[in-house]
Structure 1
Amino acid sequence: MPARQAPPPGWYPDQFGTQRWWDGQQFTQATQ
């Protein structure tokens, strides 16, 4: 059974209503 693939790097909405940078493995501190 293949492992789930993480979403590609990019800006994703967070719980605070801002966009947070996902580096492909984890969310970073960068927001916009």
Structure 2
Amino acid sequence: MPPPTEYYKKSIKELEAIQGIDIETLFEYANKSN
């Protein structure tokens, strides 16, 4: 997981809004895909 900086918090909120899922689920999915 990236460090909880303001930049990443902003990016995570945008990703959640786009993906419609929470960021941990997104990371798990990305890890399984590789």
| More strand as a share of residues | 1
Instruction: Name which one, 1 or 2, has greater alpha-carbon Rg.
Output: 1
Q: Is TM-score (shorter-chain normalized) higher than 0.5?
A: no
